[in-house]
Structure 1
Amino acid sequence: ERDAARLLAQLHAVPRPSFGYERDTLIGPLDQPNPRTDAWVPFFRDQRLLLMARAAWEEGRLPLSLYKRIERLADMLGTYLSEPPYPSLLHGDLWTGNVLVKNDRIAGFVDPAIYHGHPEIELAFTTMFGTFGNVFFDAYEEILPLEPGFHEVRRDIYNLYPTLVHVRLFGGSYVATVERTLVKLGL
């Protein structure tokens, strides 16, 4: 985990010119639009949270009531999220199945859903399926400290995006996860 933290912190420490990417990518089999944007919060709101929630609702996977609550959250994102110092290159789909390990060292990160964004969304995603634990976060924060409130609130907000991806792909229990997150946020 320390090796992974070092490698990701190095990746995240390189400033990029804008949020988004030079082309659209995929998250699993789903389209992931990446228009270049000057600010993180509008990019996350429009190109991740609302886009995926709207698609899940239109496909009949997400109830309208949950979609409307996500819209309310989107209107309030500025109270929870802040702009990072600069856009960072993100793997974008970092879970255990996309981390190659050999002899207790990272051999590679595969199957990316690349874009430039806030490193916190990547770090949040690693908690969704337990990819990395406290050793990883302690080592990462020795290099790139996190602002207070990540583990308490922002992690859950950022994990709505991959959860909505899973709602679109699998439905079921992932809808309940969206519900629990919104309740936790008071929505």
Structure 2
Amino acid sequence: MAKVPEPVRTWLAERGYTVQGLEPVGGGDINQAYRVHTREGATFFLKRNPAAPADMFAREAEGLQALRTAPRGPTVPEPYLWGSDFLLLEDLRPAPRRPDYWPRFGRALAHVHQVHGPAFGFEHDNYIGLTPQPNPWTADGYAFFAQHRLLYQAQLAHRRGLLPAADVHAVERLATRLPELVPPQPPSLLHGDLWSGNALTDAHGGPAIIDPAAYYGWAEADLAMTALFGAFPDAFYRAYQEVRALEPGWRERFPIYNLYHLLNHLNLFGSGYLGSVRHILRRFS
């Protein structure tokens, strides 16, 4: 039976709350999630993973804090307390989606992408799932995406015996072609892992985002992830462009960005993703 970490009990007690129980919450592939109920009626959201890298939840909290600073962005839960194996968050208490959920979400994400960093990267390296995500500050977006996204994942998969050398070479060829395939873009604040499972609602039915792998990068890369496992509705993309215009051909470029996530899934979940990786490499390398 799951237990509330002692630091969480102490933190809650210092604020006048007594833990009443834990309610398991499904949906995650990597962490266990619970709603913490208190005798006072307040609820909190708790993520646990005893096998997590020691700084994983600290880096997630850092990403949440960055996203919370974006003016007019989606709702982002406040991180309250974290340790090597847990993260305590604001409970979003999701309500049913409002009728205008998707247009509001599109505009809100565009406002996030209007926040620009000093370069490509982030304050610290963090994680995409359980995979380390290197974020060294890099002036050139093409070099950043090539070295610290595509090639990092490809070389990791090769070392693990999941990606043959010929496929690594194909990733290298694609990386050299990035300047001709991808338009110049400024370093925008990104969620970093924006598939449908990380797009929720807040207590009012409005858009909310969770579980970031945040960094400053190409905004189109964030949009591409929204289409990887079933695209968001067209209303989302139309509303996004009311705030922030996209270069022609943006949909056709999505597979280039999503190669990063498919390589990561290859590393996390195994050879079932190799075919999808090769499909993109045949098209673009």
Alignment TM class, shorter chain as reference:
over 0.9
Write out per-residue CA displacement over residues 78-104 of structure 1, whole angstroms, 9 at most, x where no aligned residue: 1112321x2111110111221221454
Q: Is 1:128–2:228 an aligned residue pair?
A: yes
RMSD: 1.3
TM-score for the superposition, normalised by structure 1: 0.93
Deviation at 1:131, TM superposition (A): 5.0
Per the alignment, residue 178 of structure 1 pairs with 277
1:135, distance to aligned residue in structure 2 (A) = 1.3
Correspondence for 2:237: 137
In structure 1, runs of 5+ residues without a counterpart are: none
Q: How far apart, CA to CA, are the structure 2 residues paired with 1:112 and 1:40?
A: 20
The answer to whether 1:27 aligns with 2:128 is yes
Equivalent residues in 2 for 1:8-23, closer than 5 Å: 8-23=109-124
Query: Identity across aligned pairs (percent)?
Result: 43
**Contact 2:195–2:226 (CA<8 Å) still a contact in 1?**
yes
Structure 2 spans left out of the alignment, 5+ residues: 1-101
In the alignment, structure 1 residue 70 sits paired with structure 2 residue 171: yes
Matching residue within 30, 37, 42 for 2:138:
37
Give the structure with the larger helix fraction: 1
The structure with the greater share of residues assigned to strand is: 2
Q: Rg bigger for which structure? A: 2
Count the aligned residue pairs: 183
CA offsets, 1:38-75, max 9 Å, x none? 11111000000001111011111112221111111112
Amino acid at match of 2:281: L
Aligned equivalents of 2:283, 2:170: Cα separation in 1: 12
How much does 1:133 deviate? 2.4
Letter in structure 2 aligned against 1:169: L
- Mapped contact 1:39–1:83 kept (Cα < 8 A): no
1:27 Cα deviation (Å)?
0.4
Equivalent residues of 2:107, 2:242 under 8 A apart? no
Q: Is the 8 A contact 2:183 2:247 kept in 1?
A: no
Counterpart code for 1:99: A
Runs of 4+ aligned structure 1 residues displaced above 2 Å come to none
Cα distance in 2 for partners of 1:143, 1:155 equals: 20
Shift of 1:172: 2.8
**Separation in structure 1 between the aligned mates of residue 111 and residue 176 of structure 2, nearest angstrom:** 33
Counterpart of 1:165 in structure 2: which amino acid? N
- Report the alpha carbon displacement of residue 173 of structure 1 after superposing the two structures with TM: 2.8
